[in-house]
A and B are shown apart, each in its own frame.
Chain A
Amino acid sequence: MSPKKLFARSLTMLALTATSLTAIAEEVNVYSFRQAFLIEPIMEKFTKETGVKVNILFAKKGLIERVKREGELSPADLVLTTDISRLVKLTSQDLTQTVNSDTLNKNIPTQYRDPDNQWFALTTRVRNIYSSADRVGPVDITYQDLAKPEFKGKICTRSGKHPYNVSLVASVIAHEGEENAKVWLEKVKENLARKPQGNDRAQVKAVKDGLCDYALGNNYYLGKMLENPKQVSWAEAVSINFPNQKTTGSHVNVSGVVLAKYAPNKDNAIKLMEFLSGDTAQQMYAEVNYEYPVKVGVQPSKLVASWGEFKADVLPLADIAKQHKAAVKLLDEVKFDL
C-alpha cells in the first residue's frame, strides 16, 4: 500500500475515534476491571430498557492510573471493579463523587456501601476452600486450619498477590494482628503443594488431577466451570466449603461501582448504577455469574442456593481494605510466591 493511502487511513481512524468520544449521544462510559463478556449481557439489557448506549473499556491493570491521569477530561463515567481495595483506592485518591440516590440507598444495604456514598457494592462473593470430592469430601474447615501440619503438601492457590488473596490476608491481619498473620502465612506457604500459579479455576483442576486436596477459590468459579464443557469434570471433582463457620465467618469480598469525579454523562451514569442495583441486574448477576446479589430479596441462583446458607465475616470491608498494603508487604516478607 502506498504511504499516502496509509496516512489517509490513519487520519480517518483518528478522526473516527475522536468524534465517537465527543459526540453528545445518550451514552455512558464504563472503565471495567471486569471482563466485558461477563457484564455485557447486563449492559445489553440496560440499553434495551433505556436506550442509553454503554461503552466499555476493559483492562485488568492500570485503569485507576488512567482515570487519575486523565483528570477533568476523563471520559469515564463509572468504574466497575471487583475487590474492596480497588473501590477504596479510587475513593481515597479523590477520583469519585458522592451519589445521592434513594434507589441506591434502598437497594444496597448500608454495610455494602461507603458511609459517604462514594462507592457501592453490587455483588458479594465468598473466598471458599474447595476440597477433593473423592479424597476428602465436604469438610468443616477454617482459613487458620490451612496452617496446620497435617495439611502439608495438600494446598493449592493462585498467586498471593492477586487481589482476592491479598484481601483474604488483609482480613486475617484485621482479625488477628500482623504478627499472628505472618506466622499463619508462613505456615500456609510451607503447606503449599506447588508454587502459587494459575487462576482460581486452575486450582480446582489441580485438585482434580490429584496435585493437592484443598484449593482456595471464589464461589462463582464453580458455577462458571459447570457451564464449560471442558471444565465441568474439574468442577465435579471438588466439594465447596464455607470456611470459618464456627468462628468469624467466611471471608466475603465485593464487586462494585463508583461514579467518576468528572463523569461527563452523570445522569445516565446514575441511571446505570441504579439499574445495576435493581432487581433485573441483580438477578442476572446471580444467574449469569453465580455471585451473591446485594439487594435484599433477590435470590441467588438455584445452584448457588444449593450450597446452603452460610455465615459471612461481619468485619466491615473498609477495615479489611485498610490492611491492604500491610498484606502486600507481608506476602513479600514470607516470599509467598517464590
Chain B
Amino acid sequence: MSAFSVDESGSFQHLIDTVLLDYTLTTLGVIAGVLLLSFCFALPSAWFIACCDFPSRSLLQWCLMLPLAIPPYIVAIVYTDLLDFSGPIQRFLREFMHWQSVSDYYFPDIRTANGAIVILALTLYPYLYLLLRGAFLGQSGGLFQAARTLGLSPLQAFKRVSFPLSRSAMAVGLSLIAMETLGDFATVNYFAVNTLTTAVYDTWLELGSLTTAAKISSLMLLALVILISLENHSRRKQKIYQRSGATHTELRFQLFGWHRWAVLGFLWGLLFFAFLLPLCALLSYAVHYFSVSLNEELWQYTLNSFWLASIVASIALIIALFVNFYQRLSPGLFAKMCIRLSSLGYAVPGTVVAIGVLIPFTSLDLWFNRQLVEFGFSRVGLLFSGTLFILVVGYLVRFSAIAVGSIDSSLAQVSPSLDLASRSLGQTAGQTIRRVNLPLIKKGMLTAFILVFIEAMKELPTALLLRPFNFETLATYVYQFVSDEMIEYAALPALLIVLIGLVPFIVVNRLLEKAS
C-alpha cells in the first residue's frame, strides 16, 4: 500500500538527480529546432505569396494552410510507415542497390528528436505563415516601393522594411508554435523523445505527485512567459498601423525564369511533404480498409466533432474579442495579465489541462450537490464535470490562446487614431467597436475561428479524459486504433478529421471572395 501513498517531497529531488536535465535540454532543443525550421518554411512562403506573382499563386495561398488540418501524430505515423526499414522507400532502395540487411547501409532514423522536429515544423509552420502573410499583405506597398526607389535591392528592401514591420506577427506566430510544441505529447512520445511533458506525466500518473507535476508545468510556462515578455519588451516602442493606399496587390513582383521555378518548387514541395503525401497515404489506407472502417457510428462521431469544434471556436472568439478590447479600452497591467492568463493553457499538455479543469469543477459539483441535499432537493449528479460542459471548458483553456493571439495581431494594426476619430464624432466605445474596429478585423476574426475549429477537431487527450459516457469524437475514435499501431483501420476517420477541418477554410474563402 505504501508504494502508492503520495510522496510529494522526494519526487522533485529524484527528478533533478536523474533525468530532469536531459528532459529540459531535449525540450529546448526540440522547441528551437521546430521554431527555426518553421521559420524557414513560413517566412519565404508568406513573402512569396504576399509580394510576388507567379502561376498557381492564388491556389497556393490557401493550400499552404492545409497542413494545419492534419493531426501531427498522424503525420508522424504516416512518415514512420513510409521511411522505416520495411516501408516502401527503404524496400525500394534495397531492391535497387541489392542491399540485404540493416547493416549494409545507412538510413536516417525518423524516430528521433530530429524526426520529431521535422514533423512538428511541417504541421505547425502554417501558424506563422498565416500571420506573416497577413502582415505582409497589410503593409503598405508604397513603403516597399519607396525603399526600392531609394536604391535598395529587393532583398535589402525586404530586410529593412518588410521584415521589421512584421515582427509583431512573427512573435505571435512563433510563440504559438513554441506553445504547441511544448504541449505536444503524442508526437514526441511516438518518436520516443523524452521531453518535460514526459516528466509531467511520469510524476503525476506514475509517482502520484501532483505538486511535482505542477512544479514542472509552471517552470515550463515561466520560461515561455519570460521569452514572450522579452520579445514584447524589445519592440515596446514600435507602433505599426496599416495605412490605406496601394498594397502589394498591385505591386507584386513578376517572377520569371529560374526564379519562378525555384519559388514554385519550394512552395509546392513544402505543400507536398506537409500535406499531399500524408493525405495520399491516408487515402490509400482508407480505400484498402474501407469496408472494415466504415460503420454507422462514424457519422455520429463526425457530427460530434463538428459541433464541438464549432461551439468551442465560437466561444473562444468571443473570449478573444472580450480580452483584446478590454486591453484596448483600458490598457494596464491587469488587462495584460488577462491576455497572458487566457493564453497559458495552450502550452500545457492536454491531459494536464484535463485534470486541471477537473479539479475545480468536480469540487463545484460536489459542493452544489451537497447544498441541494441540505435544502431537501435530490442530487443532480455531475452537472458540470460529467457533461459536455467540462469538455468545452477544457478545449477553451487549451485553445483560447490561438484566438487571442490572432485577434491581438490584427487589432494591433488598426490605428488608435481611428478610435479617437470615432469617439470624437460622438460614438460610444461600444459603437466604435461595432462600427469601426470589428469590420476592420473581420479577417482576423475569421482566422481565429478557423484555427480554433481545426485545433478542436484534432484535439485528443482533453477529449479522451473529459468526455461523458458514449461520446466519441473522431480523434478519440482514431486513437483507439492508432494506439495499437493499426493506422489502417483509423485512416477513414482520420481523413474525416482533415476534411471537416477544411470546411471552414472553404466557407471563409467564399465569404472573403464575396466581400471583395
Contacts and interface: CB of A to CB of B under 8 A. Distances in A.
A289 B207 CA distance: 30
Interface of A is mostly: helix
Contacts of A25: none
A304 to B, nearest CB: 19
Interface stretch (A56-64, A102-110, A144-152, A244-252): A56-64
A326 B4 CA distance: 11
A21 B386 contact: yes
Interface stretch (B164-172, B246-254, B374-382): B374-382
Interface string A192-232: 00111111011001101111000000000000100010100
Interface stretch (A5-13, A121-129, A279-287): A5-13
A322 B2 contact: yes
Contact of A17 (B201, B387, B476): B387
B385 A211 contact: no
Interface in B361-391: 362-363, 365-366, 369, 379-383, 385-389
Contact of A66 (B1, B358, B469): B358
A175 interface: no
Interface string B180-223: 00000000000110100010011011111000000000000000
B18 A333 contact: yes
A312 B192 CA distance: 31
A9 B198 CA distance: 38
Interface stretch (B123-131, B402-410, B482-490): B482-490
Given A21-B386, A75-B386, A159 B192 contact: yes
B356 to A, nearest CB: 10
Contacts of B467: 57
A306 interface: no
A197 B109 CA distance: 12
A128 B204 CA distance: 29
Contacts of B379: 73
B84 interface: yes
B5 A92 contact: yes
Contact of A335 (B22, B191, B207, B480): B22
A201 B192 contact: no
B66 interface: no
Contact of A59 (B202, B310, B363, B464): B464
Given A3-B314, A199-B484, A230-B488, A166 B206 contact: yes
Interface in A34-90: 35-37, 55-63, 65-66, 69-75, 88-89
B27 interface: no
B388 A35 contact: no
Interface in B100-133: 101-102, 109, 111
A131 to B, nearest CB: 17
B366 A72 contact: yes
B202 A75 contact: no
A250 B362 CA distance: 42
Contact of A62 (B14, B101, B314, B465): B465
Which among B85, B470, B481, B485 has the highest number of chain A CB atoms within 10 Å? B485
Given A9-B307, A325-B207, A335-B18, A61 B381 contact: no
A337 B194 contact: yes
B468 interface: yes
Contact of A209 (B102, B191, B382, B383): B102
A71 B383 contact: no
A127 B467 CA distance: 33
A104 to B, nearest CB: 22
B469 A20 contact: yes
A14 B380 contact: no
A337 B18 CA distance: 12
A14 B382 CA distance: 12
B191 A197 contact: yes
A210 B85 contact: yes
Contact of B381 (A75, A208, A210): A75
A13 B85 contact: no
Contact of B385 (A69, A194, A205): A69
B362 A71 contact: yes
Given A3-B314, A205-B86, A321-B3, A61 B22 contact: no
Contact of B388 (A14, A29, A159): A14
B149 to A, nearest CB: 48
Contacts of B18: 329, 332-333, 335
A325 B205 contact: no
Contacts of B204: 65
B354 interface: yes
A14 B192 contact: no
Nearest to B471: A17
A152 B195 CA distance: 27
Interface in A294-338: 321-326, 328-329, 332-333, 335, 337-338
A205 B386 CA distance: 40
Contacts of A35: 480, 483-484
B469 A55 contact: yes
Contacts of A209: 84-86, 102
A128 B387 CA distance: 42
A325 B4 contact: yes
A65 B485 contact: no
Contacts of B86: 205, 208-209
B469 A328 contact: no
Contact of A211 (B19, B85, B471, B484): B85
Which one of A18, A55, A62, A166 has the greatest number of beta carbons of chain B within 10 Å? A62
B485 A202 contact: yes
B449 to A, nearest CB: 11
Contacts of A91: 1
B359 interface: yes
Nearest to B5: A92
A92 B1 CA distance: 6
B53 interface: no
A161 B465 contact: no
Contacts of B7: 325
A322 B86 CA distance: 41
A166 B358 CA distance: 27
Interface string B288-325: 00000000000000000001001100100000000000
Nearest to A170: B3
Nearest to A233: B86
A17 B388 contact: yes
B355 interface: yes
Interface in A261-282: none
A123 to B, nearest CB: 17
A332 to B, nearest CB: 4
A73 B388 contact: no
Given A29-B469, A59-B464, A21 B382 contact: yes
B359 to A, nearest CB: 6
A35 B331 CA distance: 50
Contacts of A321: 3
B343 interface: no
9 A-B pairs closest in CB distance = A197-B192, A209-B85, A55-B469, A332-B18, A69-B362, A92-B4, A59-B464, A92-B1, A17-B468
Given A20-B470, A89-B4, 15 more contacts: A1-B310, A13-B388, A14-B387, A14-B388, A17-B468, A18-B381, A57-B468, A61-B201, A61-B461, A71-B362, A92-B4, A196-B192, A206-B85, A322-B1, A329-B207
